[in-house]
Structure 1
Amino acid sequence: MHDIESAGSDAAIEASGETKESSEGPLSQLGRIISKTSTQNFGPPPDGGWFACMQVVLVHLTVIDTWGFINSFGFFQAYYVNTLQKEPSDISWVGSFQLWLLFAVGVIAGRATDAGYFKICYLVGSAFLVLGIFMTSLCEEYWQFFLAQGVCQGIGNGLIFIPTLTILPGYFVKHRVLAMTAASSGTATGAMIYSATIQALLPQVGFKWTIRVIGFIVLAIQTINLCFLRHRIPPRKSGPILELQAFKDPTYTLMAISFFLINMGVWFAYDYVPSYASTYLNLDQETSNHLILILNGPGIPGRLLPALIADRYAGPINMLIIFSLATGVTTFAWAAVNNHTGFISWCAVYGFFSAGFLGLFPASIACLTENPKKIGIRMGMVFSLVGFANLIGPPVSGALIQRMNGLYLGAQIFSGLCCCIGGIILVIARVNKVGMKLNMRM
């Protein structure tokens, strides 16, 4: 009986909309059709099943193409400094501007996804991302690299990442933290894939064709994802781009401030490990670039292990506190490393703890958002603040290195303080929410 009623209702809606559809232009009809097919509501989240798990894999692939490539920037940092003869702080602007755009564009993309335009965001973002990669292969001057890699890829990443991340809350509730963190571990997977690709191809075919091969890999993955990713949370058509009301929640505001500070410091190592190894430890360029793999390799267990504990026992915010403080302490310990063997060990430890934070903080925002239709906009607002942190953090570190005549101590202290202070603010946010109950899951 229900199916008959639904069919009758759908027929009535279709009949009543014929006149309206006929008066619409082709672009309006296309946008409405894409919006309708890309956002489907199939009832409550299944919390499992093959299709939900397939979405985790597809989001993982998206993170490979966005964050995985970004986490390989340490290679580009060292390569551009040597080939373009620019200061480290100048080169940092390419990577940091790309990160800023990923988060800043995410505000608009997150709200558009909430409104039902996921596929449009993903299609346009994929086009920008692939175009930016192929244009990078043609660049010769600093400003060209900035526009292709910093601006074009940054816009593409912003239109892809946050909309894709909002897919999983529609499929998972009980295992949401684990699902989102498993997907975000694509950061480590992608960094290892693209770093290994660069290491293998660069001596054989040169920079231009190495980047083009990466471009073809990204194009293939984005084509698959565009066909099979499905957003199931029903659209929220009305509402502002920004929901400033959210900042009246002290916990949300404190967490936003915390994430801002931690992200100012956490990316320093990912950008500067190869440069540090070659200039301070006197390692050759190939060995220095291998450290990117060592730094990112522990990121897979570093994301999955704390996610399992958070999902079953502690909650994401409790684990965030531990891993953000551990990241800060490990950054301070970097100053004591003065040999190759010790630096390899340090990279592995830092990669584990920093990955734990980076994997958990998007999931924590989703878990604090009671209305699933507002996950996109709330993630977008926090990520826009985080974007400014990523914009200024690495260049500040580069400027400190330059000011101290090549010494890394000032940048190491700055980054460690950012992570530790951010971790302390997370503790305050937790106390504000649940008090001093140490055994409270949050």
Structure 2
Amino acid sequence: MATPKTDTIITTQAYHPSPSDTPTNAGPSTLHSNIYNNIHDEETPPQTAFSILEPPAHLSAITTHTTHIRPLDPDDTFPDGGTRSWLVVLGSFFLLMASYGMMNSTGVLQNYFATHQLSNYSTSAVGWIPGLFTFFGLVLSVQIGPMFDRYGPTGILIAGSCCYVAGLLILAECKLYWHFMLTLGVVMGSGAAFLSTAAMAAVPQWFDRRVGLAMGWAMSGAGVGGVTFPLVLRAAFARFGYRWAIRLLALMVAVMCGVGIGLVRSRLPRGQSKSSINLRAFRDTRFTWLTLGTFGLELEVFAGLGLYPTYVVMQGFSVSTSVILLSILNVFSTIGRLITGLIADKYGRINTQTGLICLGALAIFTIWLPFGHTLPGLYVFSCVFGLASGSFLSLAPACIGQISKASEVGGRFGICYSIVSLATLICIPIGGEMLEKVGSRAMVAYLGGVLVVALGMFVMARWASLSYRWRWQAKI
């Protein structure tokens, strides 16, 4: 049985109650209870390891030293380690490898479709297919997140795995444009939404102080998938042909999903989510800024990953070179996820995210834009930008989990990524249109500009976390 938690309030100045503050028959115990209830009002943002605590104004003149006993809230206690917690991380790793790893590899599929089955369509038209896949992979999280909070992950993961693997098997038979839109875009996208939402919502329930490290390890699965799938597809297309290459991919994904179903568990009691869409989350300005910033990150990252192979081929290099460059980017992205988790737990998640967004923007404007037509420049850019962008997708959920109650994490992930999904829907078609109409350099400059705007949103989120008081050395 859990031990009750003890809260101690110590202040130093004199308190002079007014008649309206305290009933005439109220003793010290009643006075403290009223004060305690005011402090812990349900609208107050939850405290975490990174909370900045500012004493309320009405407590600035209180003198008391009282101990208050209250039952232990499961939201307040995190295992922050142990076998069960790390098995959840391992399961999430495989689920994100299957879902987000495929999203990171859509550039290879898009390039193959554009040169084979859909060679009569423009780059922007073909770009709607992976865009729709990523859109459904995120927009449905607004419903799946509260389902996770209420029912737990197992049923969600089984449904998502069946949908995802079945979509891959059907994809092997696709020939027409609408076939790809329906199968890859809608069916597989829906399955990916179930897998990725449950995987990302499970980890913050088990970690608090080390959630950056845990999310980094889990999200590194997306990077490993982004390396593995392009290399497997490249070899399988050449050796077995399109159909058996996709069927091989379906087998790999089925194994990953099976491991995830067996390992991912929820820590909190079920039935804590009361509504599918809780717009009151936007009363928290920190959450609003983080959502806007994540929107910008996804707009840039998925456009870059989706169009990078096409961009490389347009510079006169081979398809094989484009696959290698994308794989290198994902290798360094995986390394970045593993490293930044440790850094984020030490120096602050929003701080780390902000610094790495700066590095990513510098890589675009100082390497990709001026030297993107050279092979050495592309290799250097793949390394530097991959290292920086590894945090973009892994730390964003950690930042949201940091400012949310554990029982609300699934719902907040859902509403955030349902909005962010609009960015993934339009990012590749917009970038593809720019490639065809205004050229590759304009597209690169556009992606860099989007990243700068996202940087501004995360700076505002950091400022809001400090109650709009700027402190350079605060750990946020």
Tell me if both proteins adopt one fold, taking TM over 0.5 as the criterion: yes
| Offset of residue 122 of structure 1 | 1.1
Given candidates 276, 279, 283, the residue that maps to 2:311 is 276
SS at the partner of 2:151? coil
Given candidates 98, 101, 112, the residue that maps to 1:65 is 98
Change (3 A) 1:47 1:216: same
Q: Equivalent residue for 2:474?
A: 440
| Offset of residue 228 of structure 1 | 2.9
Counterpart CA distance in 2 for 1:243 and 1:58 is 28
| Offset of residue 433 of structure 1 | 2.0
Q: Equivalent residue for 1:302?
A: 336
Q: Please show how residues 10-25 of structure 1 align to structure 2 within 5 Å.
A: none
**By percentage of residues, which structure has more helix?**
1
| Offset of residue 108 of structure 1 | 0.5
Q: Is the 8 A contact 2:172 2:247 kept in 1?
A: yes
| Offset of residue 237 of structure 1 | 4.3
Counterpart CA distance in 2 for 1:147 and 1:229 is 29
Q: Equivalent residue for 1:431?
A: 463
Q: Please show how residues 18-417 of structure 1 align to structure 2 within 5 Å.
A: 44-83=77-116, 84-85=118-119, 86-237=121-272, 239-280=274-315, 282-312=316-346, 314-333=347-366, 334-337=368-371, 338-369=373-404, 371-404=405-438, 407-417=439-449
Counterpart CA distance in 1 for 2:150 and 2:189 is 22
Counterpart CA distance in 2 for 1:196 and 1:102 is 23
Q: Is the 8 A contact 1:235 1:373 kept in 2?
A: no
Deviations along 1:88-141, one digit per CA (max 9) or x if unpaired, are 111111111111111111110001011124222111111111011111111111
Q: Which stretch shows the higher mean deviation, 372-381 or 261-270?
A: 261-270
- Paired-residue identity, %: 25
Counterpart CA distance in 2 for 1:42 and 1:364 is 17
Counterpart CA distance in 2 for 1:63 and 1:133 is 16
Letter in 2 for 1:196: L
Deviations along 1:42-92, one digit per CA (max 9) or x if unpaired, are 994321112211111111011110011111111112111111112111111
Counterpart CA distance in 2 for 1:146 and 1:395 is 14
Letter in 2 for 1:66: S
Letter in 2 for 1:422: A
Letter in 1 for 2:122: E
Counterpart CA distance in 2 for 1:328 and 1:88 is 25
Counterpart CA distance in 1 for 2:272 and 2:456 is 38
Unaligned stretches of 5+ residues in structure 2 = 3-73
Q: Which stretch shows the higher mean deviation, 219-228 or 139-148?
A: 219-228
Q: Is the 8 A contact 1:116 1:237 kept in 2?
A: no
| Offset of residue 236 of structure 1 | 3.1
SS at the partner of 2:216? helix
Letter in 2 for 1:402: E
Counterpart CA distance in 2 for 1:222 and 1:304 is 22
SS at the partner of 1:115? helix
Counterpart CA distance in 1 for 2:389 and 2:283 is 29
SS at the partner of 2:208? coil
Change (3 A) 1:290 1:235: same
Counterpart CA distance in 2 for 1:364 and 1:208 is 41
TM norm structure 1 = 0.87
Q: Is the 8 A contact 2:130 2:185 kept in 1?
A: yes
Deviations along 1:235-266, one digit per CA (max 9) or x if unpaired, are 23451111111111111111111111222122
Counterpart CA distance in 1 for 2:263 and 2:275 is 29
Deviations along 1:259-291, one digit per CA (max 9) or x if unpaired, are 1122212222211121111121x1122222211
- Structure number with greater Rg is 2
Counterpart CA distance in 2 for 1:150 and 1:161 is 16
SS at the partner of 1:283? coil
Counterpart CA distance in 2 for 1:276 and 1:42 is 47
Counterpart CA distance in 2 for 1:376 and 1:130 is 24
TM norm structure 2 = 0.81
Q: Which stretch shows the higher mean deviation, 44-53 or 253-262?
A: 44-53
SS at the partner of 2:131? helix
Change (3 A) 1:237 1:359: closer
Q: Which stretch shows the higher mean deviation, 320-329 or 186-195?
A: 320-329
Change (3 A) 1:439 1:42: closer
Deviations along 1:209-233, one digit per CA (max 9) or x if unpaired, are 0110010111122123223321111
| Offset of residue 418 of structure 1 | 0.9
Counterpart CA distance in 1 for 2:90 and 2:79 is 16
SS at the partner of 1:173? coil
Letter in 2 for 1:386: V
Counterpart CA distance in 2 for 1:217 and 1:189 is 13
| Offset of residue 331 of structure 1 | 2.2
Counterpart CA distance in 1 for 2:377 and 2:161 is 40
Counterpart CA distance in 1 for 2:264 and 2:303 is 33
Unaligned stretches of 5+ residues in structure 1 = 4-40
